[in-house]
Each structure stands twice: as structure tokens, then as C-alpha cells.
């Protein structure tokens, strides 16, 4: 799996660097997943326990899927024009966010039929806006937020994969810092 990831990373390095260079929201959303994957990949095999293997496998599967979607949209919908693509990245990000929230509902075994219908409706509006190259305002996303938040029960803490990996990244930094301090003693 690590070799597959290394190949994927090398294949996508230019796109990642371009997204980073343009302060892309998509890059910002996924950068900690990539950092966690790189961290685990670079560990000595003896340091990788079952938890880290699961984290790596889940993160790699997720980032692979998301970047395939991004690359497909960039290539097919924008004929490789990154600047044109980035004009709509907020909508792409929201589209993918809805996928993540739907997955979180599934993980919680919640009845999602009505939710999926509402999310499909929003995603169709997003795709129509992108495909027709319609201008959009932040108000559009705020309207979507109202709909989405109405489906999230107050007693549930739903987390997207990027949110989970942000926490993992923070924990790995803390562990790394503790190891550093342990070496100083």
C-alpha cells in the first residue's frame, strides 16, 4: 500500500503544488490527510501499529477517490484549465463536503433517504452552476448550509474524513513533540 501511495503522490505532485501555490480551498481541505499519510509512510515499519495501518489505508483510499474526482472534473469540465476550475472550487468543495456528510450519516446508521434526496438536490444545483459556468455568490452556499444543518441532529457529532484527519494530524504532532522532549531528558 505504501508503494501505491508513493506512486500516487508522485503522479499528483504537480497538481498538489499548483493547488498549494494558488492557496486552494481544496488543498487546504486535504493537506493534513496527505501530511498524515506521508508521516506514516516515512515511519520505520516497526513503528507502524494496526491503528496507523488503518489510518493510512482509510486516508489513502479517501484521498485517492477525492483527487480522482478533482482530476476528472479538471480534465473533462475545464479542459485542464486550473484557473477556470479554481473559480468554482468553493462549489466543488461543497459538493465533496456533502459526500462526506452523507458518508458520516451512513457510518452512524442513520436513515438517510430524505437526507440524500436533499443533498442530491443541492449537488444538482452545484453541478448546474458549474456546467453552465454561471456566476455564484456566497449566499448560495449559505442557503445550502441552512438545509444541511437542518438535517444534522443536535445530539450527534458528525465528522467528515478531513476533520478526523485534522485531529489525527494534531495528535501526531503532539506525539512527535513528546518524543522530541523525551529525547532531551
What pLDDT sits at residue 179?
53
Give residue 185's pLDDT band: very low, low, confident or very high (50, 70, 90).
very low
Closest by Cα among 63, 15, 19 to 38: 63
Give residue 176's pLDDT band: very low, low, confident or very high (50, 70, 90).
low
pLDDT average, residue stretch 152-163 = 83
**The pLDDT of residue 184 is above 60:** no
Per the CB < 8 A criterion, the answer to whether 33 and 162 are in contact is yes
pLDDT average, residue stretch 86-97 = 96
pLDDT average, residue stretch 52-59 = 96
pLDDT average, residue stretch 96-113 = 84
Q: Residues 20, 62, 90, CA angle at the centre, nearest 5°?
A: 45
What pLDDT sits at residue 128?
96
What pLDDT sits at residue 157?
78
What pLDDT sits at residue 152?
81
Per the CB < 8 A criterion, the answer to whether 115 and 102 are in contact is yes
Closest by Cα among 66, 36, 80 to 175: 36
What pLDDT sits at residue 177?
57
Q: What is the mean pLDDT of the chain?
A: 89
**Tally of CA atoms within 13 A in the half-sphere of 134 that contains its CB:** 12
Q: State residue 81 phi and psi, 5-degree precision.
A: -85, 95
Distance of CA 132 to the CA centre of its chain: 25
Burial class (CB in 10 A: 0-12, 13-18, 19+), 14: exposed
**The pLDDT of residue 172 is above 90:** no
Give residue 113's pLDDT band: very low, low, confident or very high (50, 70, 90).
confident
- Provide, rounded to the nearest whole percent, the portion of the chain with pLDDT above 70: 93
What pLDDT sits at residue 174?
66
pLDDT average, residue stretch 133-142 = 93
pLDDT average, residue stretch 15-32 = 96
Closest by Cα among 162, 60, 155 to 103: 162
50-72 vs 89-107: helix crossing angle, rounded to 10: 140
Amino acid at each position: 500500500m505504501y508503494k501505491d501511495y508513493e506512486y500516487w503522490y508522485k503522479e499528483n505532485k504537480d497538481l498538489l503544488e499548483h493547488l498549494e501555490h494558488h492557496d486552494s480551498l481544496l488543498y487546504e481541505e486535504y493537506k493534513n490527510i496527505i501530511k498524515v499519510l506521508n508521516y506514516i509512510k516515512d515511519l520505520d515499519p516497526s513503528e507502524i501499529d494496526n491503528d496507523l495501518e488503518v489510518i493510512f489505508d482509510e486516508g489513502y483510499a479517501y484521498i485517492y477517490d477525492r483527487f480522482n474526482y478533482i482530476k476528472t472534473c479538471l480534465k473533462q469540465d475545464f479542459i485542464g484549465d486550473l484557473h477556470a476550475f479554481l473559480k468554482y472550487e468553493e462549489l466543488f468543495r461543497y459538493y465533496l463536503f456533502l459526500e462526506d456528510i452523507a458518508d458520516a450519516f451512513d457510518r452512524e446508521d442513520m436513515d438517510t433517504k430524505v437526507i440524500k434526496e436533499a443533498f442530491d438536490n443541492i449537488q444538482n444545483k452545484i453541478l448546474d452552476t458549474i456546467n453552465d459556468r454561471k456566476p455564484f455568490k456566497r449566499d448560495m452556499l449559505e442557503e445550502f448550509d441552512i438545509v444541511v444543518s437542518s438535517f444534522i441532529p443536535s445530539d450527534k457529532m458528525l465528522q467528515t474524513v478531513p476533520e478526523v484527519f485534522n485531529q489525527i494530524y494534531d495528535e501526531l504532532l503532539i506525539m512527535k513533540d513528546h518524543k522530541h522532549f523525551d529525547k532531551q531528558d
